[in-house]
Chain A
Amino acid sequence: MSTPTYLIRRVLQAVAVILIVTIVVFALLHALPGGPARGILGPQATAQQIAAFDHEQGLDKPLPVQYLYYLGQLAHGDLGTSYTLNEPVSQLITERLPKTLLLTVLSAIVGLLLAVPLGMWQAVRRNKPVDYIITTLSFIAYSTPVYFLGLILVLVFSQALPWFPSQAPQGHTLGQVLSDPQGLVLPIAAGAASMVAVFSRYMRAATLENLSEDYVRTARAGGSRSRAILWRHVFRNSLTPVVAMLGYYVPVLFGGALVVEQLFNYPGMGLLFWTAAQSSDYPVLLGCVLIISVATVTGTLIADIVQRIIDPRVKAGRS
């Protein structure tokens, strides 16, 4: 498959997935107590207001028509208005999404930079004490709820040892957030922990598999040293499936960001979402679900394309 054909197909797939997500969100909208009108106008709305809204928004029309109307609104970037903050949801999200992306991307980078060498180290020292210790620690990190880990981090590195602030940097813009790198340390650590656990396992498995491949034997037969084979051949070949897994991991990263932001009071989408859930601010909740899903689909798409770039075989339509 040529690259343009692949891109078109892959993007169409992503669009199909997003359409399915909009159906889910639309269904949730109709599952709201009192229906979408109550959900969007808020708990203080009167019966007349609701009737007027229903008529005006076409909510007395059949469901498929309503769905198309809903899609039309989305196409115009209209996600409704928050009834606690009284601001358009799209504006609230535009302001906070970059900050959440910053947090997740930094967590992912830190997580990968630790996980990849750890996993390779484990594979090379398979079934030695180091391997067992890292495996045990990985499972522990994976098994710890992020909010519990965050609490422990704060108790140890902020209260007992006053190294880092327990609050994330505040601010409206990315620049303001980045101006206080100290404050980002604990949130990133909490977000990266389970990523290190999961990806060191993947990397260990991929490295082990590649170490037993025939090409390693060929390289040894050509006089290459173990270390050279590991870095020149096994490393790249093991990294490819790990990058593919990264696509699947994007939703987990966003889920983690939700808890981390709440815990450290980080002014991103997770916190916005959390606050909206406390006050049943449905337009914000559903808008966030939709945007996070679009972000996830985009993240997966990018991971696929990156994999295609680093693995020439995928490009040729094989795997």
Chain B
Amino acid sequence: MSTVIPPGRAPGTATPAKSAAASGTRLAVRRFLRNRLAVVGLGVLVFFVLFCFAGPLVYSTDQTHTLLHQVNLAPSGAHWLGTDAVGHDELGRLMYGGKVSLIVGLAAGVLATVIGTLWGAAAGYAGGWIDAVMMRVVDAGIAIPALFILLVVSAITTPDLGGLVIILGFVSWLVPSRLVRAETLTLKNRDYILTLRAIGGTHARAITRHILPNSVSTIVVAATFQIADAILLVAYVSYLGLGVQPPATDWGGMLSAGLTAAYSGYWWLILPPGLAIILVVWAFNAIGDGLRDAFDVRGRG
């Protein structure tokens, strides 16, 4: 209930605080830390980043040559997680593929958020028929399920990594654009924006000095969830055959390559990449949840 009385509300009791920004940040950090799942998520993410990027320095393996004398070996002292159908060490492959999954997911998630932010802010601030047309485009984009578009694209062409990031970014900017538009709509009618416009401030100033800085928390939270979704989407894309081409791979590629092997009992080919995807996507979602608490931002959809 809303009956919590803010300290310092009574006249004369306002505590002299230090730097405003610092106390705001500290409060946000404290709120984040109180969300235990988010803290665990952050730990999981740090672990996987170290695992994928620092891991190969400690545990070096050959991921380029096919080694037909050691295919589908079960986990052992020599190969902690066994080997796959062409003889690559599974643990090393998990690090190697994880790099691709993380980088592509991160890049695509950020790209989607950037496109969505620009589009949503423009539509929300412009208002009127421009907003209506821009949002119908978003509706149309949402109406075509991303997986269907991706499969059509895969039937037409096979992109490289950069192309993959761009395609993923362009099928997933719609949700952040909706969020940022809603945020812009409320912000542009805030009293300080009205005041600025009344005294002759420009639209550019309203957008760059007030609306975007005040949307940062919404955008950061949206970006976190967007990265989670992008990593998941990368996994689907590999399953659809549009993903990274061999001998390079990613977790989704490893998983779909191991699918048939699973029926033969080679569990070590699907469980590790499957769990890695679940844990990392889970971690980003939990972190997003914590950031939402920290910034006091609402809603995901």
Is any CB of A less than 8 Å from a CB of B in the complex?
yes
Partner-B contacts on A (CB < 8 A): 13, 16-18, 20-21, 24, 28, 31-33, 132, 135-136, 139-140, 142-145, 147-148, 151-152, 155, 159, 201-202, 205, 212, 217, 245, 248, 251-252, 254-255, 258-259, 273-274, 276-277, 280, 282, 285-286, 288-289, 292-294, 296-297, 300
**Interface residue? B226 (CB, 8 A):** no
20 more A-B residue pairs beyond the given contacts A143-B285, A144-B274, with a C-beta to C-beta distance below 8 A: A18-B143, A20-B137, A139-B282, A140-B278, A142-B281, A144-B277, A145-B235, A145-B274, A147-B255, A148-B255, A205-B299, A255-B147, A258-B145, A273-B148, A277-B155, A285-B151, A285-B152, A289-B144, A296-B145, A297-B139
| Bound Cα distance A159, B263 (Å) | 9
Asked if B270 and A277 make an inter-chain contact with CB atoms under 8 angstroms apart, the answer reads no
Of chain A, the residue at the smallest CB distance from B274 is: A148
| Bound Cα distance A143, B274 (Å) | 10
| Bound Cα distance A217, B277 (Å) | 44
Asked if A132 and B37 make an inter-chain contact with CB atoms under 8 angstroms apart, the answer reads yes
A146 CB, min distance to chain B CBs, angstroms: 8
Asked if A202 and B301 make an inter-chain contact with CB atoms under 8 angstroms apart, the answer reads yes
| Bound Cα distance A285, B232 (Å) | 23
| Bound Cα distance A103, B107 (Å) | 34
Write the B254-282 contact mask toward A (1 if CB under 8 angstroms, else 0).
01100100110000001000100111111
Cβ contacts under 8 Å, A296 to chain B: 142-145
Most A-side CB within 10 Å, residue of B143, B157, B299: B143
Known contacts A148-B270, A274-B151; A252 and B277 CB within 8 A of each other? no
Of chain A, the residue at the smallest CB distance from B231 is: A143
Cβ contacts under 8 Å, A297 to chain B: 139, 143
Asked if B140 and A17 make an inter-chain contact with CB atoms under 8 angstroms apart, the answer reads yes
Asked if A212 and B136 make an inter-chain contact with CB atoms under 8 angstroms apart, the answer reads no
Known contacts A259-B236, A273-B148, A277-B151; A143 and B301 CB within 8 A of each other? no
List the 3 closest pairs (A to B, CB-CB), nearest first. Answer: A143-B281, A20-B140, A255-B145
7 A-B residue pairs with Cβ-Cβ distance under 8 Å, sorted by A, are: A13-B136, A142-B281, A142-B285, A143-B282, A151-B262, A248-B301, A292-B144
Q: Do most interface residues of chain A lie in helix, strand or loop, or is the interface mixed? A: helix
Asked if A140 and B262 make an inter-chain contact with CB atoms under 8 angstroms apart, the answer reads no
The residue that B143 contacts in the complex, of A132, A277, A280, A293, with Cβ under 8 A, is: A293
**Interface residue? B203 (CB, 8 A):** no
Of chain A, the residue at the smallest CB distance from B298 is: A205
Of chain A, the residue at the smallest CB distance from B1 is: A212
| Bound Cα distance A297, B278 (Å) | 31
Cβ contacts under 8 Å, B143 to chain A: 17-18, 21, 251, 293-294, 296-297, 300
B221 CB, min distance to chain A CBs, angstroms: 13
B145 CB, min distance to chain A CBs, angstroms: 4
Asked if B151 and A273 make an inter-chain contact with CB atoms under 8 angstroms apart, the answer reads yes
Asked if B145 and A21 make an inter-chain contact with CB atoms under 8 angstroms apart, the answer reads no
| Bound Cα distance A261, B226 (Å) | 26
| Bound Cα distance A276, B147 (Å) | 14
Cβ contacts under 8 Å, A32 to chain B: 156
B 1-59 contacts with A by CB, 8 A: 1-2, 36-37
**Interface residue? B95 (CB, 8 A):** no
Of chain B, the residue at the smallest CB distance from A146 is: B236
Asked if B152 and A24 make an inter-chain contact with CB atoms under 8 angstroms apart, the answer reads no
Cβ contacts under 8 Å, A17 to chain B: 136, 139-140, 143
Of chain B, the residue at the smallest CB distance from A269 is: B148
Asked if A144 and B278 make an inter-chain contact with CB atoms under 8 angstroms apart, the answer reads yes
| Bound Cα distance A230, B224 (Å) | 33
Most B-side CB within 10 Å, residue of A17, A140, A286: A17
Asked if A143 and B142 make an inter-chain contact with CB atoms under 8 angstroms apart, the answer reads no
Most B-side CB within 10 Å, residue of A18, A277, A293, A296: A277
Asked if A259 and B239 make an inter-chain contact with CB atoms under 8 angstroms apart, the answer reads yes
**Interface residue? B217 (CB, 8 A):** no
Known contacts A16-B136, A155-B262, A255-B147; A132 and B278 CB within 8 A of each other? no
A19 CB, min distance to chain B CBs, angstroms: 8
**Interface residue? B63 (CB, 8 A):** no
| Bound Cα distance A273, B149 (Å) | 11
| Bound Cα distance A132, B36 (Å) | 9
B 114-144 contacts with A by CB, 8 A: 136-137, 139-140, 142-144
**Interface residue? B286 (CB, 8 A):** yes
**Interface residue? B146 (CB, 8 A):** yes
B131 CB, min distance to chain A CBs, angstroms: 13
**Interface residue? B97 (CB, 8 A):** no
Cβ contacts under 8 Å, B154 to chain A: 277
Cβ contacts under 8 Å, A151 to chain B: 259, 262, 270
Asked if A148 and B148 make an inter-chain contact with CB atoms under 8 angstroms apart, the answer reads no
Cβ contacts under 8 Å, B94 to chain A: none
| Bound Cα distance A91, B186 (Å) | 48
**Interface residue? B243 (CB, 8 A):** no
